[in-house]
Amino acid sequence: MASLELKRVVKRYATTTVIHGVDLTVRDGEFVVFVGPSGCGKSTLLRMISGLESVTEGDLWLDGRRVNDVSAAQRGLAMVFQSYALYPHMTVYQNMAFGLENIRTPRSQIDTKVNDAARLLRLEALLGRRPTQLSGGQRQRVAIGRAIVREPTIFLFDEPLSNLDAELRVQMRTEITALHQRLKTTMIYVTHDQVEAMTMADKIVVLNAGRVEQIGAPLDLYNAPRNKFVAGFIGSPRMNFLSVRVTGVGPDGVGVMTDANSPRAAATIPVRGESGLVGQAAVLGIRPEHIHLRRAEPDELALTVMIELLEQLGSTSFLYCVLPSGEKLTVQLAGQIDKEAGEQIEVCFATIDAHLFAKTESEPAFERLKTPAVHVAA
């Protein structure tokens, strides 16, 4: 039985619609991440699930029960806030015990649960302290502990790591994932950071301007983005987008030509297309990591570009190049290279790694004819 179900959920504030009909199913034990740019509605969606915001239209089902009209206090969920929202006048122990006191749990049980959670999160030594006496990471763990103690059916996280520095963020990310593996409770996690989404999620929900763009496993989103928005959002560094013109449509795929003046700048992308597309403009997508400097193979597209900027990190190199047409291209290579800014180079990539999109962001990508080989790490 599904743990959480959203059916055509809409959120309206007076005249503005913030969430335009979201459908979502979350299974018991899943780690689902809501991701998207600022203002896309991911926090609003989370708050609607928690009960802190009302649902304007549509249905919200928790474990088979319609909970639109059930108050936040009674949904049996727990939330970790971005600002932690720890009670400053209570000790860590009291912060964690508060929720259980409210539902009139016997004191001995409260004691056991709080101590168990404290042990799990290595907070035993801090139980007598006040939040103002804790570091950022410690406060984060107390906030999580407060949620754990309630044994909720779903954990809700509202951008919990955005107030931490980079190093702490990586550490807490692994801790939360470990927690999920240990407790096996459903978790819904909101973030704007796609790296967090990719590393932590069982399932990612990509949101944009109140609409769901795509739902899927992290690698599915990476390999088969449904539209230009998802393609550009998932993956770091961002996918390159080049303007191309459709030269022909056939059983092998769609022929395109870039605006570059180069013989090998045309190729056939193995996607399905209609004949009416010939002559139309389209967008070709290729991830920086799929571009290489080796000699071009027959089914590859080659481009001559000039390196504007070169960043060498030792294990990876980033080439920020520009095409004769003025469009930018980012290339990611493993290892170090012996090139300089200002040099002209030839770059290539396999057509099977390319994506083809229509010019508008939300129009679906052209459907693949062949599945690309998965780039398995050696």
Minimum distance, C-beta of residue 41 to other proteins, in the bound complex (Å)? 16
Q: Which is nearer to other proteins, 62 or 286 (CB)?
A: 62
Q: Which is nearer to other proteins, 125 or 281 (CB)?
A: 125
Minimum distance, C-beta of residue 138 to other proteins, in the bound complex (Å)? 14
**Contact residues for other proteins, defined by CB under 8 A:** 13-14, 50-52, 54, 71-74, 77-79, 81, 83, 85-89, 91, 98-99, 102-103, 125-130, 133, 146, 150
Q: d(Cα 108, Cα 278) in Å, to the nearest integer? A: 74
- 352: CB partners within 8 A, 6+ apart: 270, 299, 370, 372, 373
Q: d(Cα 318, Cα 310) in Å, to the nearest integer? A: 6
Give the CA radius of gyration of the chain: 25
Minimum distance, C-beta of residue 81 to other proteins, in the bound complex (Å)? 5
Q: Which is nearer to other proteins, 74 or 112 (CB)?
A: 74
Q: d(Cα 205, Cα 197) in Å, to the nearest integer? A: 9
Minimum distance, C-beta of residue 88 to other proteins, in the bound complex (Å)? 7
Minimum distance, C-beta of residue 71 to other proteins, in the bound complex (Å)? 8
Q: d(Cα 194, Cα 205) in Å, to the nearest integer? A: 11
Q: Which is nearer to other proteins, 129 or 245 (CB)?
A: 129
Minimum distance, C-beta of residue 150 to other proteins, in the bound complex (Å)? 7
Q: Which is nearer to other proteins, 71 or 181 (CB)?
A: 71
Q: Which two tokens stand for residue 30?
A: 């899943």
Which of helix, strand or coil describes residue 301?
strand
Minimum distance, C-beta of residue 73 to other proteins, in the bound complex (Å)? 4
Q: Which is nearer to other proteins, 52 or 224 (CB)?
A: 52
Q: d(Cα 2, Cα 154) in Å, to the nearest integer? A: 12
What's the burial of 360, exposed, middle or buried (CB within 10 Å: 0-12/13-18/19+)? exposed
Q: Which is nearer to other proteins, 151 or 327 (CB)?
A: 151
Q: d(Cα 131, Cα 138) in Å, to the nearest integer? A: 9
Q: d(Cα 145, Cα 337) in Å, to the nearest integer? A: 48
